[in-house]
Amino acid sequence: FLAASATSTSPSQAIQPVLELPYAAKDAKRAASAVPFQLPTQLISFSYTPDRVLEFNDSSLRYFVDPPRGAQLSYGYDRWVRRPEERGRLDSLLKAWQKFGTERPGVLGEVGVVSWRGVMTKILTAPYEERDDWELNVMLVGGTMYFEEHLSEEKLQSKNDVEPRHRIQMYYGYSFESWCTSESPSPASHSGNPSQPTSDGHPPGWGGDVNTNVQWCSVVKTKLGNTRMVIGGEVDCVRGRYTGKTDNFVELKTSLTIRGASDEARFEKKLIKFYFQSFLLGVPEITVGFRTPSGVLSTVQSFRTIEIPRLVRGKPGAWDPTLCLEWGDRFIRELRDAIDVHSPPDKRNDGNLSDLPVWRVSFSPKVGITVKQLDDAGIMDVEAGDDEQRIGFLPKWYVEYALD
Ligand code: 0WD
Ligand code: CA
């Protein structure tokens, strides 16, 4: 372990590190001991409506259709209804988890981690992350750790003020989702001449204008090593009929057309994120739309999620998923132990509700992770930002329910 240094970037966050996990050396020559990961199964699903209202139904679920080659991914850009960036609160996942627990009490046993899938993806891919740092807020309530992504004010700001060039690239991804999906399950593909408008005034194959408020989310249970986890995430569409299982879920991605060896290596590096993002929710298929720099869809290729590690093995951009699982398992166990040891005994689990400790995990690429307990100012910062009454970052209603 690195020597403990108590210097903090923001005076309001810090007490002192309670845990420092150095970067998992990816060139380690040891045989990675396989940490098992249980196939995820869906517990419950929900939808966000165009007005960003959460509903426990599948109204926002979309169905895969083959997109027209040559489709223009900038189509509809000026009509994009864009959801403002917000803090990655757990509230809707907790509502779903509570609903499941109320309807089917006691089926799951002790759950070690509750998190959005995007956060778990960041944790597992950390050993290979070379550029982006990230932070989490963590609370331990009744034996379960809750993870929330922490975005500083500057990070939130910069996510909202993206450059036009970057903004249109983000839109290409959402537009591809529209070209690839339909509101109803239908065997017909989006065929026809993409330059010829249909009766609704849109080119054939267009699945409807983009509104990023709309999402369909699946909540699954799984297990990493000995830790049972409940993970929620957005699912782009299903192939064929929806059965309530994850086995025909499809993740949609766009990427620049590969033109040479260095493009290929870059794509293979990117596949680690595609892989873990889908793997964590049990999504078996990733369909990638390759596009020109100006946003014309050139080719479409589907990958079977479980085959991706074999595809990159031995290549220039190679990565090893067993190392990530091992790192993730170690991260979870050591974080939990550190929190346990440093929580005042009277505030563990059934202690004073309003006073639960909140922990800040900070990850720096190529360095590793530090964990600190937030001081009062840090906790106030985490609690603020909306009208919900909170204990740390968790809604008060949820903490009361969880400890009941
Ligand atoms: O706003 C935030 N900072 C966060 C939002 C942080 C963490 C979670 N969330 C929300 C998500 O919007 C969603 O409602 O939690 C829910 C589940 O997210 P997830 O599935 O865990 O998120 P992730 O795996 O990171 O992303 C999945 C998809 C993305 O697809 P691509 O193919 O680009 O990976 O969710 C979408 C996006 O389509 N997405 C967003 N869309 C609009 N605004 C955002 C966002 N901030 N984040 C993810
Ligand atoms: Ca996607």
Q: Which atom of ligand 1 is nearest to the CA of 233?
A: 20
pLDDT in the model for residue 33: 73
CB 58 within 8 A of CB 238: no
pLDDT in the model for residue 8: 39
Listed in sequence order, the residues at least 6 apart from 186 whose beta carbon sits closer than 8 Å to its beta carbon are 63, 65
* Ligand 1 site, residue 117, Cβ cutoff 6 A: yes
* Ligand 1 site, residue 206, Cβ cutoff 6 A: no
Question: Per residue in 103-140, pLDDT tens?
Answer: 999 888 899 999 999 999 999 999 999 999 999 999 99
Listed in sequence order, the residues at least 6 apart from 274 whose beta carbon sits closer than 8 Å to its beta carbon are 251, 253, 286, 288, 303, 308
How many angstroms is it from 287 CA to the middle of ligand 2?
9
pLDDT in the model for residue 24: 58
Summarize the confidence of residues 41-59 as an average pLDDT: 98
Question: Per residue in 310-365, pLDDT tens?
Answer: 999 999 889 999 999 999 999 999 999 999 998 876 555 555 677 899 999 999 99
Which percentage of the chain shows pLDDT scores above 70?
Answer: 89
Question: Per residue in 52-82, pLDDT tens?
Answer: 999 999 999 999 999 999 999 999 999 999 9
Alpha helices (runs of H) in 73-152, residue ranges in sequence order: 91-103, 117-125
HSE value, Cβ hemisphere, 13 Å, CA-based, for 267:
20
Question: Per residue in 196-217, pLDDT tens?
Answer: 777 789 999 999 999 999 999 9
How many angstroms is it from 95 CA to the middle of ligand 2?
23
pLDDT in the model for residue 394: 98
Find how far residue 155's CA is from the centre of its chain. 17
Nearest to 121 by CA among 141, 159, 149: 149
Compute the distance between CA of residue 268 and CA of residue 273 in angstroms, rounded to an integer: 10
* Ligand 1 site, residue 116, Cβ cutoff 6 A: yes
How many angstroms is it from 81 CA to the middle of ligand 1?
15
Identify the residue whose C-alpha is closest to ligand 1 atom 27.
Answer: 234
Decide: residue 262, CB within 10 A, 0-12 exposed, 13-18 middle, 19+ buried: exposed
How many angstroms is it from 290 CA to the middle of ligand 1?
21
How many angstroms is it from 263 CA to the middle of ligand 2?
20
Summarize the confidence of residues 182-200 as an average pLDDT: 71
CB 89 within 8 A of CB 222: no
Residue 11 reports pLDDT greater than 50? no
* Ligand 1 site, residue 118, Cβ cutoff 6 A: yes
The answer, as to whether pTM is greater than 0.80, is yes
Which percentage of the chain shows pLDDT scores above 90?
Answer: 79
The 10 Å CB-count burial string (b at 16+, else e) for 335-369 is bbebbeebbeeeebeeeeeeebbbbbbbbeeeebb
- In sign, the C-alpha dihedral spanning 298, 299, 305, 309 is negative
Compute the distance between CA of residue 213 and CA of residue 47 in angstroms, rounded to an integer: 10
Question: ipTM surpassing 0.85, yes or no?
Answer: yes
Compute the distance between CA of residue 385 and CA of residue 150 in angstroms, rounded to an integer: 12
Report residue 254: phi and psi, to 5°.
-120, 155
Nearest to 281 by CA among 226, 312, 236, 329: 236
Compute the distance between CA of residue 13 and CA of residue 287 in angstroms, rounded to an integer: 41
pLDDT in the model for residue 42: 98
* Ligand 1 site, residue 253, Cβ cutoff 6 A: yes
How many angstroms is it from 118 CA to the middle of ligand 1?
7
Decide: residue 44, CB within 10 A, 0-12 exposed, 13-18 middle, 19+ buried: buried
pLDDT in the model for residue 32: 60
CB 12 within 8 A of CB 116: no
* Ligand 1 site, residue 208, Cβ cutoff 6 A: no
Listed in sequence order, the residues at least 6 apart from 112 whose beta carbon sits closer than 8 Å to its beta carbon are 143, 144, 145, 226, 227, 228, 229, 332, 336
Identify the residue whose C-alpha is closest to ligand 1 atom 44.
Answer: 85
Compute the distance between CA of residue 359 and CA of residue 331 in angstroms, rounded to an integer: 14
How many angstroms is it from 383 CA to the middle of ligand 2?
30
Q: What 3-state DSSP class applies to 10?
A: coil
Identify the residue whose C-alpha is closest to ligand 1 atom 5.
Answer: 88
* Ligand 1 site, residue 66, Cβ cutoff 6 A: no
Indicate the Cα dihedral angle 348, 350, 356, 358, nearest 10°: 50
- Reading the block at residue 204, the tokens are 């054939």
